[in-house]
Chain A
Amino acid sequence: MAAFSVARRSRGLINGLKVSFRSSGQLKHGAVAAPLLQTSLHRDSRWYSAGHLSVKERIEAKRRAALAGGGQARIDAQHKRGKLTARERIDLLLDTDSFVETDMFVEHRCSDFGMEQDKNKVTHLPEVIFYFFNIIFCLCLFCFSQDFTVFGGSLSGAHAQKICKIMDQAMKVGAPVIGLNDSGGARIQEGVESLAGYADIFLRNVMASGVIPQISLIMGPCAGGAVYSPALTDFTFMVKDTSYLFITGPDVVKSVTNEDVTQEELGGAKTHTSVSGVAHHAFENDVDALLNLREFFTFLPLSNQDPAPIRECHDPSDRLVRSLETIVPLESTKAYDMLEIIKAIVDEKDFFEIMPNYAKNIVVGFARMNGRTVGIVGNQPKVASDEYVVLTPPPPFCCLDINSSVKGARFVRFCDAFNIPIITFVDVPGFLPGTAQEYGGIIRHGAKLLFAFAEATVPKITIITRKAYGGAYDVMSSKHLRGDVNYAWPTAEVAVMGAKGAVQIIFRGKDNQAEAEAEYVEKFANPFPAAVRGFVDDIIEPSTTRKLICSNLEVLARKKQVNPWKKHANIPL
Chain B
Amino acid sequence: MINLLICFSSQTFDKILIANRGEIACRVIKTCKKMGIQTVAVHSDVDSSAVHVKMADEAVCVGSAPTSKSYLNMDAIMDAIRVTGAQAVHPGYGFLSENKDFAKRLAAEGVTFIGPDTHAILAMGDKIESKLIAKAAKVNTIPGFDGVVKTAEEAVKIAQDIGYPVMIKASAGGGGKGMRIAWNDEETREGFRFSSQEAESSFGDDRLLIEKYIDNPRHIEIQVLADKHGNALWLNERECSIQRRNQKVVEEAPSTFLDQDTRQAMGEQAVQLAKAVQYSSAGTVEFLVDSKKNFYFLEMNTRLQVEHPITECITGLDLVEQMIRVAKGYRLQHKQEDIPINGWAIESRIYAEDPYKSFGLPSIGRLSEYQEPLNLKNVSVRVDSGIEEGSDISIYYDPMISKLVTYGATRGEALARMEDALDNYVIRGVTHNISLLREIITHPRFISGDISTNFLPEVYPDGFKGHQLEAGKRRELLASAAALYVTVQLRSQKAPLLPPSCLFHKGACLTRDASGKINLQYLGTMVSLVLSKLAAQLNSYMPEKVPEDTSSILRSPMPGTVVAMSVKPGDTVAEGQEICVIEAMKMQNSLTAVKQAKVKSVQCKPGETVGEGDLLVELE
Contacts from A to B (Cβ < 8 Å): 79, 82-84, 88, 91-92, 96, 137-138, 241, 283-288, 291-292, 294-296, 298, 311-312, 314, 322-327, 330, 340, 343-344, 349, 352
Contacts and interface: CB of A to CB of B under 8 A. Distances in A.
Contacts of A283: 515
19 contacts: A82-B541, A88-B538, A92-B534, A137-B489, A284-B545, A285-B543, A286-B538, A287-B538, A288-B542, A292-B514, A311-B494, A322-B388, A323-B370, A323-B389, A324-B390, A325-B390, A326-B391, A327-B390, A330-B48
Given A91-B534, A92-B535, A326-B391, A295 B514 contact: yes
Contacts of B368: 323, 340, 343-344
Contacts of A340: 366, 368
Interface size class of B (residues with CB under 8 A): 20 to 34
Contact of A312 (B390, B491, B532, B535): B491
Contacts of A92: 534-535, 538
Instruction: Identify which of A286, A312, A340, A343 gathers the most chain B CB atoms within 10 Å of its CB.
Output: A312
A287 B542 contact: yes
Contacts of A330: 48-49
Given A96-B534, A291-B532, 14 more contacts: A84-B538, A88-B538, A284-B515, A286-B541, A287-B515, A288-B542, A311-B492, A312-B491, A314-B500, A322-B390, A325-B390, A326-B391, A327-B390, A330-B49
Contacts of B391: 326
A382 to B, nearest CB: 12
The 5 tightest CB contacts between A and B, nearest first, are A323-B390, A295-B514, A137-B492, A82-B543, A288-B515
B514 A79 contact: no
Contacts of A82: 541-543
Contact of A291 (B389, B500, B514): B514
Contacts of A288: 515, 542
Contacts of A311: 491-492, 494
Given A296-B514, A323-B368, A312 B541 contact: no
B508 to A, nearest CB: 13
B316 interface: no
Contacts of A325: 390
Nearest to B428: A349
A217 to B, nearest CB: 13
Contacts of B534: 91-92, 96
Contacts of A322: 388-390
Contacts of A326: 49, 390-391
Contacts of B496: 312
Contacts of B497: 312
A210 B476 CA distance: 47
A458 to B, nearest CB: 22
A79 B540 CA distance: 9
A294 B489 CA distance: 11
B202 to A, nearest CB: 47
Contacts of A292: 514-515
A365 to B, nearest CB: 12
B491 A294 contact: no
B222 to A, nearest CB: 41
B81 interface: no
Interface string B366-377: 111110000000
Contacts of B499: 314
B542 A291 contact: no
Given A287-B535, A327-B390, A340-B366, A79 B541 contact: yes
A288 B193 CA distance: 63
A89 to B, nearest CB: 9
A288 B543 CA distance: 12
A235 to B, nearest CB: 14
A380 to B, nearest CB: 16
Given A92-B534, A324-B390, A291 B545 contact: no
A424 to B, nearest CB: 22
A327 B496 CA distance: 36
B539 A287 contact: yes
Contacts of A96: 534
B559 to A, nearest CB: 15
A310 B53 CA distance: 43
B535 A291 contact: yes
A287 B390 CA distance: 36
B260 interface: no
Given A292-B514, A352-B514, A84 B541 contact: yes
A82 B538 CA distance: 10
A330 B47 CA distance: 11
A501 to B, nearest CB: 25
B618 to A, nearest CB: 20
B493 interface: yes
B494 to A, nearest CB: 7
A344 B390 CA distance: 10
Given A284-B545, A287-B538, A314-B499, A323 B514 contact: no
B516 interface: yes
Contacts of B370: 323
Contacts of A287: 515-516, 535, 538-539, 542
Contacts of B366: 323, 327, 340
B514 A294 contact: yes
A518 B600 CA distance: 49
A314 B543 CA distance: 36
A330 B492 CA distance: 41
Nearest to A82: B543
Instruction: Identify which of A287, A292, A314 gathers the most chain B CB atoms within 10 Å of its CB.
Output: A287
Contacts of A241: 543, 545
